[in-house]
A and B are shown apart, each in its own frame.
Chain A
Amino acid sequence: MKITELFFTALRSLLTNRRRSILTVLGIVIGIASVITIISLGKGVEKATLKNLQASSSGKQSTVVDYYADDLNSTASGFEASDLALINASQTSFGLVKADIVSDNDGSAESEASINGADQNVTVKLLKHPSSDLEILSGHNISQNNIMLADPVALISKKLATSFYSSVNQALNTSVTINGISYQVIGVFKEDMGLDDVAISKTTYERSNNGEAGNKLKLTFNRGENVSKQTKKIVSLLNKQGSHHLQGSYEHMDMGAILKGVGSVINGLTYFISAIAGISLFIAGIGVMNMMYISVSERTQEIGIRLAIGASPKSILLQFLLEAVLLTGMGGVLGFGIGCGLAWLISLFLPFRAVVGLESFILAFGVSAIVGIVFGIFPARQASKKNLIDILK
């Protein structure tokens, strides 16, 4: 019989005994699912660690120190030029290439602005691209050109416009000064849910900021430097002598250390879960063997008939072996799917994403197929060795 026809024959028999097949294969599903889950998480943490340690394109590595003010309403920046001077004084002993103050890169900054002669604390939306989210009530939006040329132009909110000018239109073409730069107001937007008061081009803002003030410090190190250790040293220096060490704290979130911790936990778990899964697969394999023996003895008549009409013992053997492999293989694929889902779900609560590779699929399918062959071969041999004359009597 052609192998494809044998395949269908085997599939038919499995589907005829659907419930029994499902129950038998459950152990395989569970075993494979748990292995795939832990392996995907392990790969995820490995990839995240690599990425974290990865040098920039120039081969240098960088870390970021954040400043958190104790007073949550404070708009003061934690880093100033004096902090740069402090760090740069011992630049070589830290292995630093450079230190830069960067504005909060979540797209907005707190700043003091002067509008129509009055000072006001405002939230500034920093645009990297023209924003289509803003509904312009008057004037026009900031264009790509404005951003590219770092034009000192601004959009202000309707609330801000009406509290300083008699009408929205009055605010147009006035100016607002932020960080010493005077921006021309070219439009007024409607503040829906956004908390932003002013929108300006990010490049323009950074230029004006000129590395003078901000809540983030980007440290760039020489190649091969122990960045985590050096960053820690700089953080403790800042917390002793930094410009704002009395008003807040300087902190560094060491992703490398976190990932390393998670990674070693997952590595430990991998051995444990693999051992459990191995036992589960072994027991499931015995279950498959048992089911196949039962199936062979129940289907003695069928085997006799097939032999009588011309099946060779080899094709009977293959039919039953295929049944076992198909059963465990489907269990493996199902387990693979469940494992992927589970890994994804778990990694929602971890600082990295699970990674599923083709090799995980091959592992799942391969292991389950091998279980099918190992535990299916004896029942299949028994089926093929049945005495035809005794069956047909």
Chain B
Amino acid sequence: MIRLERLNKFYQQGDEKIHVLKDVSLQIQQGEFVAIMGPSGSGKSTLINIIGFLDHQFMGQYRFKGESMIDQSLSDYARLRNQNVGFVFQNFKLISNLSVAENVGLPLLYAGHRRKNIADQVNDVLSSVNLQGVGAKLPMQLSGGQQQRVAIARALITRPSFLLADEPTGALDSHTSQEILKLFIDLNHKSRSTIIMVTHDFQVARLSQRIIRILDGRIESDRSVDQ
């Protein structure tokens, strides 16, 4: 489904050009649960931003479901994000003045649905992450773990091709982290959801099926986890 070939990424910082991703090539199949590991600053976020169509400025080839991402316009990228990717960020990224239900339903509005027709879908996805009855609350009124589950519900609501989680447990305590991870594992097992998760915690990463290690912008290793 995802196929990167000799991907290179540079950031311009003042006069300097920083080489952040160096000849990254990898493939991810439908239904995989992949963990991306590496020290801070090694390029993990940069990589998944490109995979998730957030960043269109790169060199090399990215094919998604066989189609090249190189010549897509900005609005094509917006549509690709809306239809194919569910994002889960470290700090949840919920809109603070919208209710939980409105946050969760927002991707559907951008997909062209009407506000009044999406209530059932929102309720269903909220109960699938064990958050019944909090739709009317504001994000601030929920605990961190609950907010992250709202974010996961929002990521799931468009039934995307894959979930991208950038250190999803980084802001949570270990108990809550376990709950969130269990949710990801369930989604991968029961719904065959493709999940790509960035983490620097091996205890988290070993719950996945495959670990890709990145060091200084290069893939250092890429192996499946021994069960």
Contact = CB atoms under 8 A, between A and B. Distances in A.
Given A309-B87, A310-B111, A315-B110, A392 B93 contact: yes
A216 B33 CA distance: 102
B79 interface: yes
Interface string A1-33: 110110011001100100000000000000000
A313 B115 contact: no
Contacts of B107: 309-310
Interface residues of A, number: 27
B110 A310 contact: yes
A5 B109 contact: yes
B83 interface: yes
A305 B55 contact: no
A81 interface: no
A306 to B, nearest CB: 7
A312 B97 contact: no
B49 interface: yes
A309 B98 CA distance: 15
B109 A312 contact: no
A330 B98 CA distance: 23
Contacts of A312: 74-75, 78-79, 110
A302 interface: yes
A309 B45 CA distance: 17
B82 interface: yes
B75 A311 contact: no
Contacts of A314: 75
Interface string B100-113: 00000011011111
A389 B78 contact: no
Q: Interface size class for chain B?
A: 20 to 34
A14 to B, nearest CB: 12
B106 A306 contact: yes
Given A309-B110, A313-B75, A314-B75, A389 B154 contact: no
Contacts of A137: none
Contacts of A4: 114
Nearest to A311: B110
Given A308-B87, A309-B81, A312-B75, A1 B110 contact: yes
B54 A1 contact: no
B112 A16 contact: no
B95 interface: yes
Given A308-B87, A389-B55, A392-B54, A313 B74 contact: yes
B89 interface: yes
B112 A2 contact: yes
Contacts of A309: 81-82, 87, 106-107, 110, 154
Given A308-B54, A310-B107, A5 B114 contact: yes
A134 interface: no
Contacts of B49: 389, 392
A1 B93 contact: no
B95 A305 contact: yes
A310 B79 contact: yes
B165 to A, nearest CB: 13
Given A8-B115, A308-B54, A309-B87, A1 B74 contact: no
Q: Which residue, A9, A16, A388, has most C-beta atoms of chain B within 10 A?
A: A388
Given A309-B106, A310-B82, 7 more contacts: A1-B110, A2-B109, A2-B112, A2-B113, A305-B93, A306-B110, A315-B110
23 contacts: A1-B112, A2-B113, A2-B114, A8-B115, A12-B97, A301-B95, A306-B106, A306-B110, A308-B54, A308-B87, A308-B93, A309-B106, A310-B111, A312-B75, A313-B75, A315-B110, A389-B49, A389-B55, A392-B49, A392-B54, A392-B89, A392-B93, A393-B45
